[in-house]
Amino acid sequence: MKGRYLLLSALVFIGIFSCKNRVYMTVSEPAAVFLEQEYESAGVVNRTYSEGAGKIVDVIDNALTLEGNLDHEGSKAAVQGVFDELTVNPKFKRVVLMDSMTVKGGGIDIFPAQLPWEEVQRLCDENGVQLLFVLEVFDTDTKIDYSSQTVNKNTPLGTVPMIQHTATMTTKIKTGWRIYDPKNKWIRDEFWLSDRIQSTGSGINPLKAAEALMKRGQAVRQISTQVGRFYAGRVRDQQFRVWRTYFKKGDQNIKIGARRAQVNNWTGAAEMWEKATHSDRRRAAGKACYNMAVIAEINGDLYGAYEWAQKSYSDYKIKDGRDYARLLKNRIIRWENNQARKTMDEQGN
């Protein structure tokens, strides 16, 4: 019975996806952190070095978690990543990588008290920038799992059982960021961003197993740079490669439209699918409405796509249309919010 159930499930899955084709498109999403047009310069600061009591805590934490100077090297790579990404953002005409700062009583995994606005303004004035991108928290937490097992090794004396030791090290990188706007005395963004690295080594003794783990510093620097670049991308509109499915079966017009779509004749596909929306076969009409939503999104008409997707579900009960309509609605909301902010910015200028 279990085998029959799995076979039936597989056939249903294949049947569902054999009725659809996939198309890829590029969609634009507004920046997670909106900055008005007037902001054209930024400074990047590493504020993760502790002094006083916080420094003692860091030393203890490093010893317990096998970190060494990973936090120091990783934080430098993270702010470098932010700097590199901001310099290729056409919005900014000036980007300054500033000196690192210490923070009294800095803790682990918590944001320190924010910089006083007088200090923020002074730093911006001295470096000729309008905003500060500050790395406030950088922490690496490393854990090792150790195991051993008996394996057979080929030797000149024949196959000999040996004990193989395996060590797996997982390093979690946690960063905390702020963007200071001294003009408005406003923290534009406060954001946590994490990633992790896993390394595995094995050998005939524990020392050999651990040797492969000692090069993780380079991996930490590489990942930290990527984390920094990703964070700096929050102030930039993003483009993503996504895919949508469309129906290729339903009636003759849908089939012809699908074949036209496969040869990139989307105008011809839309012509046939629009005809199919008037089909006497309700399910075919619903599928055609869904396909018209895909066409509209490809053409950048989010409102038209939303209306077609809604119609495919509300009028014809095409369940895919419900999920697609929700996706499009969220895109519309983000787009409208972004347009409203840009309009306010232009009117303010």
Rounded average pLDDT over 98-104:
81
Q: Does 16 have pLDDT greater than 50?
A: no
Mean pLDDT of the chain: 84
Q: Does 211 have pLDDT greater than 80?
A: no
pLDDT at 154 (0 to 100)? 73
- Provide the pairing of β-strand 238-247 with 186-203: unpaired
**Residue 51 CB contacts under 8 Å (≥ 6 apart), including other chains:** 102, 103, 104, 106
CA-closest candidate to residue 246, choices 235, 236, 233, 260: 260
Measure the CA–CA gap between 264 and 120, rounded to whole angstroms.
54
The count of residues in the chain is 349
What are the tens digits of pLDDT across the range 77-100?
Answer: 999 999 999 999 999 999 999 988
Instruction: Quickly list H helices, 132-172.
Output: none
Q: Does 250 have pLDDT greater than 80?
A: yes
Rounded average pLDDT over 269-295:
96
Rounded average pLDDT over 249-260:
95
More confident residue, 201 or 71: 71
- Provide the pairing of β-strand 102-104 with 49-51: parallel
pTM greater than the 0.85 cutoff:
no
Domains of the chain, first to last: 41-137+175-193+215-238 (3.40.50), 244-348 (1.25.40)
Structure tokens at 63: 């010893």
What element of type H or E holds 131?
strand 131-155
pLDDT at 54 (0 to 100)? 43
Beta bridge partners of 135: 46, 177
pLDDT at 148 (0 to 100)? 73
Q: Does 221 have pLDDT greater than 60?
A: yes
pLDDT at 238 (0 to 100)? 84
Structure tokens at 314: 């509300």
**Residue 73 CB contacts under 8 Å (≥ 6 apart), including other chains:** 217, 220, 221
